[in-house]
Structure 1
Amino acid sequence: MAGYLFVHFTGEQKDGEQIYFSVSRDGLHWTDLNDGKPVLYSHIGECGVRDPFPVKNPLNGRYYLIATDLRIEKGEGWQAAQERGSRDIIIWESEDLVHWEKERAHTVGIREAGCVWAPEAVFDEEEQAFLVFFASKVKCDGEETAKHRIYAAYTKDFVTFSDTFLYMERERDVIDTTILRSNGKYYRISKDETDSRLILEESDSLRGDFKRISCPVFEKLKGMEGPEGYLLPEGRSWCVIADQFAEGKGYLPMITEDLSSGDFTILEKEKYDLGRTKKRHGGVLELSDAEYERLIKAEMEG
């Protein structure tokens, strides 16, 4: 990869829950695009979005951006957002990362879902389709209270989706799942919503059984959410970033050369720069040199 695009939101202030772009050559030092202002706005649903995630279709080269349909800034609070929130995801589509079609909404949450949070997508080579997964708070039969679980659906084009199914359930609430692939294995990093710590798991397949990997750094850090991960340019080290939301400190980079080891090192502050805007839960897309230069050219041309 020759660069990275970080798509994110910035907070609950006016226009904070919209789409912001930042780019980086090394995955550690970021430059905000559009003078740190939103690049895309949602004018449908809740008229605000959080947790945006970009993906590229390996079959046709099209880009998709999916996000949570939620605007906390309007003042209805977190209980309403979890129990009476939108069951839609907001979707943008592009051929070049610069020109984006008008946003659209698609209902992926099951009827009983109180919300659909932090949607992400990973291409399933066996199915030749994207596995789109997200957190929903649902009260199932026999339960006294609702619980966050991870649900999923398949799509080839982000227009037509399969029926939604339960993808992951834990004894306690779980949200903010991201999936990485390394050395033929899949790694899930999720947020335990009960104590706000990250969980690392490994499996041979996307739909297979995942086993938990001990990760001392994740287990030590509390008040974390929105994990994302990507391979750094040298092709050896993985950078996992997570939002230190409880203390309002923004994203923290953690480095490992082997995801299966669970051995991460927290990067020193002087070794990274997240740019001027405060970055909240978002997603990172690896870029080719042509893709990176296209974004920079569009930025310079205004």
Structure 2
Amino acid sequence: MSALRARLSVILLAVCLLLAGQALTAPQRAAAADPGYLMVHFTGDSATGQMLYVAHSADGLHWNDLNGGAPVLNSTIGTKGVRDPALVRSPDGSKYWIIATDLCIRCGSTYTNGSPNFVVWESTDLVTWSNPWLLGAAGLIPGGKNAWAPEAIWNPETNDYVLYWATNATVNGIFKYRIYSARTTDFHSITTPQIWIDPPGSTPVVDTQMTQVPAGAGPYRYLRVSGDGQNNVEGSNSILGTWTNLGNLSSIGLTGNVVEGPVWMKFQDRDEWALYIDYNNPQGVREYRPILTTNPFDVSTYRLQPSTDYDMGGTAKRHGAILNLTAAEESRVLARWPSTPVQRLQSFNFQD
């Protein structure tokens, strides 16, 4: 009996050692991935190109066109064309707005004869959008002509949104594009526009985009980049306060008017930023491509990514907007506009 008990004890010990060994060597399931990113953009100067398209990225660098690459919104008002969309989320996440340039090149308007208005849509869930309406902008500026490239950001100092854009007007005898700003709570009306960025002399500025930096991440809370021929990068601790020039994109060979539509994006999973640019490459072809940096306040650290490190998807991307998604937002977006990603190899035991 004692011999049988001893034999059973040995077998039990062996089983326990085997299970323990499996527990030590079995790979742990990867943590759930962070939510991804949504891009809203137009594609070009054709009639269908001047509608709004959406794309999704899981990592911020490889993009999949949603809705089968077809547009998700088109304008039925104004010039019936939209470009340069901004995508704005309210601080509590209960509302979203898309504000876009009202311009349809080659289908009724030109770059010199555009619209003084913006086209605006509103949503409460990011996937179902209201009918569009026109928001007057350049008409509120003495002698103002076109209203281009709108952007907006929540300003905690004034408890409303700062809307900013480019308008060409004559000021002090100089006719050129300047960046104007105004305040709004609902994107149905705005305060009297004020000049926000005015480069010296006759130098125009058209595209400006800013982002808020997490507290403690650097010397400034806000960063902006402008398509002003020098592609200047600036920092500030107050949206409507004083801005400090931090350099320009010449450190990576981007000079002159080769850069349009800069768009900031903070990676969800790390302290790294992407600055997407609408770039006119040396072959004369426009392409959207990312610049990466772990220190956006030091322009010398900016790295223009080689084509092997990113994928913009099958649909052309022009001056758009990027939103860091929450898990709930991502679920709604992908349920509404399923993605058809490129086939990739997937790990069997680390499937995330």
Q: What TM-score results when the alignment is normalised by the length of structure 1?
A: 0.92
Deviation at 1:73, TM superposition (A): 2.4
Q: Which amino acid aligns with 2:76?
A: H
**1:266-281 correspondence runs (5 A):** 266-281=304-319
Residue 45 of structure 2 aligns to a residue whose secondary structure is coil
Cross-structure match for 1:284: 322
CA 1:60–1:264 in structure 2 vs 1: closer, same or farther (change >3 Å)? closer
- Distance in 2, Cα, partners of 1:45 & 1:216: 35
**Moved runs in structure 1, 4+ residues, more than 4 A?**
216-219
Distance in 2, matches of 1:249 and 1:296, equals 28
Contact 1:176–1:225 (CA under 8 A) maintained in structure 2: yes
1:160 equivalent to 2:196? Answer: no
Instruction: Give the secondary-structure state (helix, strand or coil) at the position aligned to 2:111.
Output: helix
Contact (CA 8 Å) 2:87, 2:322: kept in 1 or not?
Answer: yes
Residue-by-residue CA offset, 1:118-141 (whole Å, 9 max, x unaligned): 00001101111110000001112x
Secondary structure of the corresponding residue to residue 180 of structure 2: strand
Do the aligned residues in 1 keep the contact of 2:103 with 2:109 (CA within 8 Å)?
Answer: no
Q: Which has the larger radius of gyration?
A: 2
> Are 2:209 and 1:178 equivalent residues in the alignment?
yes
Q: 2:224 is matched with which residue?
A: 188
In the superposition, the TM-score normalised over structure 2's length comes to: 0.79
> How far apart are 1:44 and its partner, in Å?
0.4
The structure richer in strand per residue is 1
User: 5+ unaligned residues in a row in structure 1: which ranges?
Assistant: none
CA 1:293–1:162: 2 relative to 1, 3 Å: same
* Native 8 Å contact 2:67 2:338 kept in 1: no
Identity of aligned residues (%): 34
Displacement of 1:249 after TM fit? 3.5
**Structure 2 residue matching 1:17: 3-state secondary structure:** coil
Q: Does the aligned pair in 2 maintain the 1:199–1:218 contact within 8 Å? A: no
Aligned residues: CA RMSD: 1.7
Q: Distance in 2 between matches of 1:216 and 1:285?
A: 23
2:101 match: 68
1:126-141 alignment runs, 5 A limit: 126-140=157-171
In the TM superposition, residue 76 of structure 1 has moved relative to its aligned partner by 4.4
Distance 2:337 2:127 in 1: 9
Q: Which runs of 5+ in 2 are unaligned?
A: 1-33, 340-352
2:295 is equivalent to residue 258 of structure 1: yes
Give secondary structure in 1 for the equivalent of 2:59. coil
Matching residue within 123, 148, 154 for 1:123: 154
Tell me if structure 2 keeps the 8 A contact 1:217–1:265.
Answer: no
Structure-1 separation of matches of 2:161 and 2:267: 24
User: How far off is 1:175 after superposition?
Assistant: 1.2
Task: Report the number of matched residues.
Answer: 292
1:9-28 aligned within 5 A? 9-28=42-61
SS of match in other structure, 2:122: strand
Instruction: State the distance in 2 between where 1:249 and 1:153 align.
Output: 31
